[in-house]
Structure 1
């Protein structure tokens, strides 16, 4: 009883701290409405009222690393680029209870991207992640896109990120506002969840400048309930996972969405695993607020503990202030609170609440430095903190 009361008080204190820190910032952002402040991935002429980036805008493309207002669109050539990230701990323990990013060699990584416009409607792109101290190579994306009806109906086939939630759009180091990812995205959803299959997605314009965004996918599915149980090539059963996301842009810059996925994960096609999520994001100029709640139910044989459920959520706010100096393009502040419970039936030390504070310094459009400080609360342990820095070079 004492621990649960303490955990509740901890959540309240952290949320109060969150509000205190960012209420002045949001007020300041409102005062900046007449200033042009664009994201590092946007053109310098983008309006402050720009809506959240579309699905395809999050993929690595040449616009991601350029500040130019006009970029050649030569569909006959291959586009090749990526990023290289180096992470180092400043303070923190290096044991199993910590996030992997506190280990120097494990989280240094590189991502390589290549894409080509094959025809007016058909394109190809692939993404390779080199991680774990440059000892592990993962083919994250390898897919063909065919625009059946412009942006209204697009078909993916190949290997792609499964359409569950919104954090998948910004998990790469160049888009992630912090160094660590939210706890639910690595302890409930399988890390970078890529799968083989087909998907339809598109954007449906609605009255009053609103939009409906949809993604529907059929893929091989997971091979187990743990985050590491992601199939790479061969399916372990005949069942397919079906899932997707619906997003509704109800106001310029404000989008709410929901995700669902279900499939059988065992070799005998008997045990289900499902995911249900809700998300919200708001972007105006260089101010961004995003949050997500994820819950999952896992069927499991009685001898292994029976069925169980898990859930988690995060809330993140960031503001990027433009300086446009020779050696300082942007300075960005970030705050995120996240919480996760990988098995609600037991208290085994895997639950955690965390608050993360970050400062990002953009030297130019190709070089970025990040600093992150975290305070984490886990059952049976004293509240502990850690910090680390990261340098990212993109081309």
Structure 2
């Protein structure tokens, strides 16, 4: 008999979509996969050099649970530069990707019965980890406000059990970038109501002009003592498989994280740590700028193709590398003809009829949305989006 908690959550919806695409492809169908939350790219030269040097030096031993002290110092310098505030190594935990940073945050902050506010649509892992910790996710609908939470809606959802707010900008899956005013308002709300802020900025390097990513503690320094910053190098350096990220926050929280992490993964992969340290100390911004141009080019191409959609509005795509399609219009048209249509139906049809794999918004708490990744090869992206557009335009 399995533990009861296993009934409270299921496998990631994004992973399930990717698995479905692979299964269809194995059957011989030509499938263009737009499900993946990663950028197709080679590895940054400085990261490769650091990894190879570590291997050639026979580095294979444990590090401190929270990561190499030299790496934590380097990350503290990075965060200090990004936030315009001083950070120290004992405020940093190196983790096995951002997922572990978020899991650590949930486990050291959330008691059974605590409520955590999560703007919806949301990345599927946010509520799952809150539930594992014994908490209760409280979803704040944003679709009516261009996928940006309204402070009044957040305030109305706060109860005496509310413990934290999850802020994810640029947002996965919607691509929304929260501006200075909304972030300052959310920070002030957290200060006034004594809430923790879990600030996930994993897509921060991909805010598309004129939109700008703002670290929340820069806008609201008084919120720093109640803010946990979650980030990774999976997106900014295209290192998804290396599993290396970090959590930054008050020393007491990081100390608790150390105790927890010592009983879960212990230290992150030592080769990945040395590779990242070498990049931070010896690399430059060249590779990251190349990735940004690659993503920007893909976004421009994709928006041009999707502009031909007749019954689906053009996605906002302000940041990150996802197009998020709002199917509400299609659903209304289908209902007027006596048919029910949800995102799962659309995703299934796109996969089987158009050979395009996408992620249903039901994974993100939205039965009227579909997420498309544009982190893939440009030619494949073009073919995939043209197939998708042609299929959706047959539905009126």
Give TM-score scaled by structure 2 length.
Answer: 0.25
Which of the two has greater strand per residue? 1
